[in-house]
Amino acid sequence: MANTQHSIAVLFAPDVVHGPTSIFSPAGTPAHSIFGLSMLVLGVALCVFVIVGGLLAYAIIRYRHRRHDVKAGEEPAQIYGSNQIELSWTVIPVLIVAMLVLSSARVIYSTQQAAKPTAALDVIVIGHQFWWEYRYPKLGIVTANELHVPVSDPRHPTPTYLTLSSADTDHSFWIPRLAGKTDLIPNRVNIMWIDPPTAGLYLGQCAQFCGAQHAKMLLRVYADSPEEFSNWVKRQRDPVKEDPNTVEGEAVFQHNACISCHTVAGTVATGRFGPDLTHVASRDTIGSGAVLNTPANLRLFVDNPAHFKPGALMPPMHLNEHDLDAVTAYLLTLK
Amino acid sequence: MDGTLVEAEEIALRNSALQVLHNWVTTVDHKKIGLMYIGSSLLFLVIAGIEALVMRIQLAIPNNTFVSPQAFNRLFTMHGTTMVFFVGMSILFGFGNYLIPLMIGARDMAFPRLNAFSFWCTFFGGVLLYFSYVGGNGLSGAGSAPDVGWWAYAPLTARPFSPGHSTDYWTLAVLLSGVSSIGSAVNIVTTVVSMRCPGMTLGRMPLLVWLYTVMSMMAFVTVSPLTAAQIMLMLDRYVGSHFFDTQAGGSAVLWMHFFWIFGHPEVYILIMPAFAFANEIIPVFSRKAIFGYPAMVAASVGIGFVSLSVWAHHMFTVGMSAGANTFFVLATLTVAIPTGIKIFNWLATLWGGKIHFTTPMLFAIGFLFQFLLAGLTGVMVGAAPFDWQLSGSYFVVAHFHYVLVGAILFMLFAAFYYWYPKMTGRMANEALGKWHFWLFLIGFHVTFDFMHIPGILGMPRRIYTYEAERGWMVWNLIVSSGALIQAVATLIFVWNLIWSYFKGPLAGPDPWDAWTLEWSTSSPPPEYNFAITPVVESRRPLWDLKHPEDSDSYYE
Ligand code: HEM
Ligand SMILES: [Cu+2]
């Protein structure tokens, strides 16, 4: 079975359809079981297309009107119908449909009602226009835009259970290689789970139109080995270190509107409208994957977020050059 | 002395131009109204097509800045809304209006004034939609055209997320189109029920008339919830109710149910007429009676009913229970059965025939293959888990454009070429028609075949740009170039319509040697269609006339 599935996959998915977010390079249980079903459906569709399309093509070529072999005005035999034939091409589709419904049901139930292992990690995901908030209730971590999860060894599964909701409009959480998408809807809580089997970075993005900058609401999931993951957890729990060199930048941050939208744990900054910045310098990207987190980009982002992300809800901060440098230096210490 | 003469001539001319305009604006003749529907949808087709082109230019390469994010969001909103409500619906009602009375041997529709009202309602709806580009915030702010998508999900349409008037323009335009659709649907059903000529029992109606009746019934059932939803949305926005305003405890999922209970059957509403045209055109150019008339009727009614129970397959990702998901998979895939019957019956109609490759028939053949493929990708997205991956991706965009363009638009082109001689009295140019067909076929496949691939590669829809590293660029570039080919083909089509109107050879009443009643009148038909009310004895009255020795009435 796995083998035929694979060969169908090759037929439909030659090298060209592989890429960092291809649904045909599944990693993890939910994505794999969807992939299996996909190959079945594709195989059935291909057979039907070859047979019915072939018959159509045959009829069109075989029965085309030829000028010389028909007397003018002569019409072909008129056939009005046939109950037996029509019955047969009703029954066969019924059987195919029944088979596809049952196979779909199996994947639906096995994905939606899988037993949750005790070792599972819980993460609360909140969709915002246009960024992601991640909270680890049992680990006491709050972060944004870059999700870290442990790899899940099939022998000791440590899947990550995501509790999805939204702070504003609808969004949809989609990492094609890890699982199908699930929507984040205000006033509603959805659950999905992922279990990446190998360490690495898995990409995706918001898949439900959510406003002006829906396009740059990118998703980055880092699957870490157990050691890496516990190191990451330790670092995220570290309190912010006071750095005497950046008191000026800290003051700029605290005396501007920054704190009304952003949190830096352990300081007066407790805003929740924008991403938590407690460890912003430890992230690879800013603006929900919009640009790399380099000092220059960070400075430009604070100066004018619309430069990278027109439509982002953070206003330009109108700081002078000096203050910009200072606040950037401060942000860079938030490791 | 010359001066006064010229002046008099000018006045005469102006009078006659005004006269013509006056005639059209005040007409209640079903044929003129049909033509106005068709003309206005062609206009909107060109506008929405240009919008599609601009979007494809923007997406041809990564990180493009041809249009701004908001302009792009407006483009896909306007494109979708225009195509569904002001092209699809009105062109189909246009053909229906023109053909149904002729095909059932009636002199007009049952309610001619309601008919005119319905047309002007939807026409003003379309104008209002586009007025949003200049209205609201005014020209300087590029207007306030809606940017919430044609599906307009809550709560993006609520006041906090959609300030200004853009959403109001959208709501009112859709509302007007809905009122118009219900008016037309009432009219069609009443006409079919009460105005058939003697001898035309339900079992002898042309299949086109049957399918339009099913479609109109579906329009009653589904456009009403849409209209209700629009009114609730307006109440939310202006009176402070909270049906869909999630910030105040409203429900986003409620909107989805309302919308898709309309939106899904709507797709079938749009495709019923395409089936209807196929049922008329394929037999005539195969020179055979349609195979399995009763099964075709039953399948259409079946599709009508089943399609009312599948709406939530647009909601496989909103987190329904496993049981609900499975039910909607079952309902969705069930539609494949009556649809399959249709394809097989068309196949059997071709089988043993003498197929003439006229332009209408070429488009119908293209339709058969493309509809088959559209159905098969439909089965894929109907299998919920596969849809968890594909929904909201470019695969879905490719799938439904296979339905909307590959099936519906191809059949519309077929209908244009087939009934053009009836409507204008002149034949459309076959050479231009074949150029149009082949170019459009190539353009269509270059665009929409390749569009499935970025979806499989994880490209969501409704994004104005993407990063180069994702590996989507090649596919998008191919897709965009196909769109250009289709645009060129469409220009040939429009040119053909204009050129043939003046230069095409005269058609005579029955140029295709066809069998239904509309071909028994002159081309174009006189104002009241039939000098003497026709009497029919079978499904193919003109066949009976031409083959008295082998009349259909012996077999029914
Ligand atoms: C000088 C003051 C501010 C600084 C230094 C600052 C810094 C930042 C940084 C570094 C990010 C990127 C975070 C990430 O992607 O992980 C960000 C994003 C964001 N900020 Fe601010 N911010 C400031 C003021 C504000 C204000 C006043 C608001 C609210 C009105 C705000 C709302 C947001 C939002 C909504 C985002 C997410 C943007 C997106 O990716 O779509 N920020 N901010
Ligand atoms: Cu989003």
Q: Residue B6 has what pLDDT? A: 61
The ligand 1 atom at the shortest distance from the C-alpha of residue A290 is: 40
Query: For residue B495, what are its two tokens?
Result: 């040119």
Q: Could B352 and A172 be called an inter-chain contact, meaning their C-beta atoms sit closer than 8 Å?
A: no
* Residue A123 DSSP code: E
Q: What is the distance between the alpha carbons of residues B504 and B177, in angstroms, rounded to a whole number?
A: 35
Residues of B in contact with A49 (CB under 8 A): 372-373, 376
Average pLDDT, stretch B25-45? 95
CA separation, residue B517 to residues A48, B422, B547 (Å): 37, 12, 15
Q: What is the ipTM of this complex?
A: 0.93
Which range (A74-78, A285-289, B47-51, B367-371) has the least confidence?
Answer: A74-78
Query: For residue B2, what are its two tokens?
Result: 């010359």
Confidence tier at B354 by pLDDT (50, 70, 90):
very high
Q: Is A35 in the pocket of ligand 1 (CB under 6 A)?
A: no
B336 at A interface, C-beta within 8 A: yes
Q: Residue A85 has what pLDDT? A: 85
Q: Could A41 and B291 be called an inter-chain contact, meaning their C-beta atoms sit closer than 8 Å?
A: no
pLDDT score of B482 more than 70? yes
Question: In terms of CA atoms, which chain B residue is nearest residue A12?
Answer: B453
Omega cis (within 30) before B410: no
Average pLDDT, stretch B363-383? 96
Query: For residue A211, what are its two tokens?
Result: 């406003």
pLDDT score of B39 more than 90? yes
Average pLDDT, stretch A212-222? 96
Average pLDDT, stretch B319-347? 95
pLDDT digits (tens, 9 = 90+) for A122-147: 999 999 999 999 999 999 999 999 99
Question: In terms of CA atoms, which chain A residue is nearest residue B453?
Answer: A17
Taking the centre of ligand 1 as the mean of its atom positions, its distance from the CA of residue A287, in whole angstroms, is 8
Q: Could B388 and A179 be called an inter-chain contact, meaning their C-beta atoms sit closer than 8 Å?
A: yes
pLDDT digits (tens, 9 = 90+) for A259-299: 999 999 989 999 999 999 999 999 999 999 999 999 999 99
B372 at A interface, C-beta within 8 A: yes
Omega cis (within 30) before B155: yes
Residues of A in contact with B373 (CB under 8 A): 49
Q: Residue B139 has what pLDDT? A: 47
Alpha helices in B195-251 (DSSP H): 207-238
Q: Residue A44 has what pLDDT? A: 96
Other C-beta atoms lying within 10 Å of the C-beta of residue A155: 5
Q: Residue A65 has what pLDDT? A: 86
pLDDT digits (tens, 9 = 90+) for B262-310: 999 999 999 999 999 999 999 999 999 999 999 999 999 999 999 999 9
Which residue has 């899940």 as its token pair? Answer: A152
Nearest to B156 among A97, A188, A211 (CB): A211
CA separation, residue A52 to residues A23, A55, A91, A217, B382 (Å): 28, 5, 15, 42, 20
pLDDT digits (tens, 9 = 90+) for B531-550: 889 999 889 988 888 888 87
pLDDT score of A70 more than 70? no
Residues above pLDDT 90, as percent of chain B: 85
pLDDT digits (tens, 9 = 90+) for B147-159: 999 999 989 999 9
pLDDT digits (tens, 9 = 90+) for B449-460: 999 999 999 999
Q: Residue B501 has what pLDDT? A: 95
Query: How many A-B residue pairs are in contact by the CB < 8 A criterion?
Result: 273
Residues of B in contact with A26 (CB under 8 A): none
Q: Is A134 in the pocket of ligand 1 (CB under 6 A)?
A: no
Alpha helices in chain A (DSSP H): 2-12, 29-48, 54-62, 83-112, 226-237, 247-255, 258-261, 295-303, 321-332
Q: Which residue CA neighbors atom 28 of ligand 1 most closely?
A: A314
Q: Residue A84 has what pLDDT? A: 84
Q: Is A286 in the pocket of ligand 1 (CB under 6 A)?
A: yes
Average pLDDT over chain A, rounded to whole? 91
Q: What is the distance between the alpha carbons of residues A174 and A182, in angstroms, rounded to a whole number?
A: 7
Which residue has 């005119």 as its token pair? Answer: B116
Confidence tier at B1 by pLDDT (50, 70, 90):
very low
Nearest to A104 among B293, B384, B389 (CB): B384
Residues of B in contact with A38 (CB under 8 A): 380, 385-386, 389
Q: Residue B553 has what pLDDT? A: 78
Q: Is A215 in the pocket of ligand 1 (CB under 6 A)?
A: no
Confidence tier at B59 by pLDDT (50, 70, 90):
very high
The ligand 1 atom at the shortest distance from the C-alpha of residue A260 is: 27
B387 at A interface, C-beta within 8 A: yes
The closest of B3, B431, B368 to A53, measured between CA atoms, is B368
Q: Is A141 in the pocket of ligand 1 (CB under 6 A)?
A: no
Q: What is the distance between the alpha carbons of residues A91 and B167, in angstroms, rounded to a whole number?
A: 47
Beta bridge partners of A160: A121, A194
Hey, of A29, A181, A203, A273, which one would you mutate to test binding to chain B, going by the most B CBs within 10 A of its CB?
Answer: A181
The closest of B295, B387, B272 to B333, measured between CA atoms, is B387
Which residue has 């709050």 as its token pair? Answer: A142
Average pLDDT over chain B, rounded to whole? 92
Q: Could B70 and A65 be called an inter-chain contact, meaning their C-beta atoms sit closer than 8 Å?
A: no
CA of A191, closest CA in chain B: separation in Å?
A: 8
Confidence tier at A301 by pLDDT (50, 70, 90):
very high
Which range (A51-60, A111-120, B130-139, B321-330) has the least confidence?
Answer: B130-139
Taking the centre of ligand 1 as the mean of its atom positions, its distance from the CA of residue A259, in whole angstroms, is 10
CB proximity under 8 Å: B 123-162 to A: 147, 149, 153, 155-156, 161
B63 at A interface, C-beta within 8 A: no
B384 at A interface, C-beta within 8 A: yes
Question: In terms of CA atoms, which chain A residue is nearest residue B551?
Answer: A78
The contacts of residue B67 (CB under 8 Å, 6+ apart) are: B54, B58, B75, B464
Q: What is the DSSP string of B46-75?
A: HHHHHHHHHHHHHHSSTT--SS-HHHHHHH
pLDDT score of A67 more than 80? no
Q: Is A281 in the pocket of ligand 1 (CB under 6 A)?
A: no
Other C-beta atoms lying within 10 Å of the C-beta of residue A216: 26
Taking the centre of ligand 1 as the mean of its atom positions, its distance from the CA of residue A240, in whole angstroms, is 19
pLDDT score of B27 more than 70? yes
B252 at A interface, C-beta within 8 A: yes
Determine the residue type at B449.
D
Residues above pLDDT 90, as percent of chain A: 81
pLDDT digits (tens, 9 = 90+) for A147-193: 999 999 988 899 999 999 999 999 999 999 999 999 999 999 999 99
Q: Is A275 in the pocket of ligand 1 (CB under 6 A)?
A: yes
Q: Is A274 in the pocket of ligand 1 (CB under 6 A)?
A: yes
Nearest to A79 among B291, B457, B459 (CB): B291
pLDDT digits (tens, 9 = 90+) for A12-59: 544 566 789 999 999 999 999 999 999 999 999 999 999 999 999 999
Q: Residue B151 has what pLDDT? A: 94
Average pLDDT, stretch A222-246? 91
Cα-flanking dihedrals φ and ψ of residue A190, to 5°? Answer: -115, 155
Q: What is the distance between the alpha carbons of residues A125 and A164, in angstroms, rounded to a whole number?
A: 5
Q: What is the distance between the alpha carbons of residues B152 and B154, in angstroms, rounded to a whole number?
A: 7
Q: What is the distance between the alpha carbons of residues B469 and B471, in angstroms, rounded to a whole number?
A: 6
Confidence tier at B140 by pLDDT (50, 70, 90):
very low
Average pLDDT, stretch A321-334? 94
Q: Residue A1 has what pLDDT? A: 41
